[in-house]
Structure 1
Amino acid sequence: MTDKQFSVHKSMVLSNRKALALYLFKIDRAHDVPQIMAQLVDLDEFQGTRISLEVVTNEISLLAHLLQEDYLGLKVINLINVDFLPLYQGIKLCLDPLLKANIKIPFIVICRLVARYFKVITESIQVRLIEEKNLLRLEFSPSMPEQVNHHQIDGVILAVHKILAAFSSVKPTKLTLSYRQSSHGIEIYKQLFGISAELSSATNSLYYALKTNRNFQSNSISVDELAMVLDKNFFIGPLHNMLDKEFPDLSYAARCQHILITIMGLSEPTREQVAQVLNMSVSSLQRRLREEGISFQQILLTTRKMMADRYLIQQNLSATDVAFLLGYQSSSHFFKAFKGWYSMTPMVYQKLHRGDS
């Protein structure tokens, strides 16, 4: 859709405003709070739970101009209590069964949930999780570069960092920024993230090291055990319900693909699992998909092919790792399926496209 209207959840705007007031108190400008707040839009004028991204961006630009603070996004988000954000609350509901069972949650599971459902609180920045050899990379890209300022990018990167830190002790190993060239004042990144920022980079990314090539494995739980716990406890159901509530116009095909990308390699990608997440019967899901002219198997195949291409070509992962990431029971099952798709092995496909590039 070329004319898509991106939006921000009202709770995010309210959290920003509360943190802004705290920031003004912190810099001894409490007397300016009434005057500054009076210049912000009245949220009651907007129906529903979301506000246009353009309106929110204009508000942040106004605040940055009034306060003449180049790092306003970081300083405000640093004062936000992430516990009150819908995304945090949804993730906590999903992970509670694991936490109550004293199961150590693999870091990639948390990263997937944050990246796949971040739009619940804001669509200003697209958060993409990229699984590479021995590391995870979270990439941050403005949905509409002409409507997003660097304060929003800073704020989203820090918000993601704070949410991840609320569920895991894993620390980022690298931070790259494409939108900052000057090193003036950048020590704030070291203070907030624990690492220095690399400026003028190709992407805005947070990097995390992985201990093994088998990205989902951890010392405390096997993949099979994790899948069994996730299946038993619905896993992403509560979080996906939030997404459906915020974006009710999504097609069932789009919902299925979103769920499949999220659970692929973590839980069995079956129609039963997807129907469970959507809180509906398998027959109801199949009927909805038929009405849209597509089947679950077609969506699953399209999703697997799309992800296989990304893992093999863009991320240059081994065929064995890709088989694992796509949820195949063994490498041989993946090899057989892949050869049926393209009449060649994953390695030949990878070498062919590497030659093209």
Structure 2
Amino acid sequence: MIVKEVEYICSVLQDNYVGLNLHSLINIESLPYYKAINDCIKPFSSTDNELPFLLVSRLVFRFFFLITESIDLKVVPEKGLIRFEFIPNDLELMNKHQIDGVMMTVYRIVEDFCPGFLKMIYVAQRNSTYELEYYQSMFGVPVEPELC
């Protein structure tokens, strides 16, 4: 039901990126997800050192359930990098707009605590040249289709 409603809203608004666009406008500091991570990081905020990206990544993973339970997050170490994988629990109950929104929220939170650490985005739910260019304009890093 929710998938159909989201698709209807997208058609009425004529916005194929409603998840990205809405989640780019949210005040992330008001989200319980952000607040939980921020509370864990407060002891480090009094130092002049950068927050370790690994610490932020683990907190993002730990508190991810506060965003949604319909998508699982995997944090995968890969060649000296960290890869976030967003995996829908039920493809029949999910759509690309919901995945887009969750990706944008996680990106904004990670960017807030560790600016400039995002280097590349691979997406499975979008694959046209225009979609990938739109993603790049929203995230500011190269975007490539995920090869399944």
TM-score by length of 2: 0.89
Please report how far the alpha carbon of residue 98 of structure 1 lies from its aligned counterpart in structure 2 after TM superposition: 1.3
Structure with greater strand percent: 2
Residues 30-54 of structure 1, C-alpha deviations (whole Å, 9 max, x = no match): xxxxxxxxxxxxxxxxxxxxxxxx6
Q: Cα–Cα, structure 1 residues 185 and 130, in superposed 2: closer, same or farther, change >3 Å?
A: closer
Match of 2:12 among 61, 66, 82: 66
Match of 2:71 in 1: 125
Larger RCO, structure (CA 8 Å, separation 6 or more):
2
- CA separation in 1, counterparts of 2:77 and 2:52? 14
**Aligned 8 A contact 1:127 1:138 in 2:** yes
Whether 1:100 aligns to 2:34 is no
Match of 1:159 in 2: 105
Structure 1: give runs of 5+ residues left out of the alignment: 1-53, 203-357
- The answer for the alignment partner of 1:91 in structure 2 is 37
Cα-to-partner distance string for 1:265-287 (whole Å, 9 max, x where unaligned): xxxxxxxxxxxxxxxxxxxxxxx
Instruction: Assess, with a 3 A threshold, how the Cα gap between structure 1 residues 119 and 59 changes in structure 2: closer, same or farther.
Output: farther
Structure 1 match to 2:90: 144
Q: Counterpart amino acid of 2:127? A: Q
One-letter amino acid matched to 1:133: K
Per-residue deviation, 1:164: 0.4
Task: State the 1:174 CA deviation.
Answer: 1.3
8 A Cα contact 2:23 2:104, kept in partner: yes
Measured after TM superposition, the shift of residue 101 of structure 1 is: 3.9
1:193 to 139, 143, 148: 139
Q: Displacement, 1:68?
A: 2.6
Taking the aligned partners of 1:123 and 1:58, their CA distance within structure 2 comes to: 19
> Matched residue of 2:63: which SS?
helix
Unaligned runs of 5+ in 2: none
- Relative to structure 1, the CA distance from residue 66 to residue 174 in structure 2 (aligned partners, 3 Å threshold; closer, same or farther) is same
Letter paired with 1:85 = L
User: Does the 8 Å CA contact 2:121/2:142 hold for their aligned counterparts?
Assistant: yes
Return the offset for 1:65.
2.5
Displacement of 1:102 after TM fit?
3.9
Q: Deviations over 1:115-160 (max 9, x none)?
A: 2211112113211100122111011111211100001111111111
- Are the equivalent residues in 2 in contact too, given 1:124–1:152 (CA < 8 A)? no
Aligned with residue 182 of structure 1, among 128, 131, 136:
128
Q: How many residues align?
A: 148
Which amino acid in structure 1 is aligned with residue 125 of structure 2?
Y
Quote the offset at 1:168 in angstroms: 1.1
Matched, 1:111 2:57: yes
Contact 1:116 1:128 in 2 (8 A): no
Instruction: Give the 5 Å matches for 1:170-319.
Output: 170-202=116-148
Pair 98,193 (structure 1): closer, same or farther in 2 beyond 3 Å? same
Instruction: Please report how far the alpha carbon of residue 185 of structure 1 lies from its aligned counterpart in structure 2 after TM superposition.
Output: 4.2
RMSD of Structure 2 on Structure 1 (CA): 1.8
Cα distance in 1 for residues equivalent to 2:81 and 2:146: 21
Q: In the TM superposition, what is the alpha-carbon distance from 1:200 to its structure 2 partner? A: 4.8
Q: Structure 2 CA distance, aligned partners of 1:79 and 1:69?
A: 15
Aligned equivalents of 1:147, 1:127: Cα separation in 2: 17
Letter in 2 for 1:100: S
Identical aligned pairs, as a percentage? 35
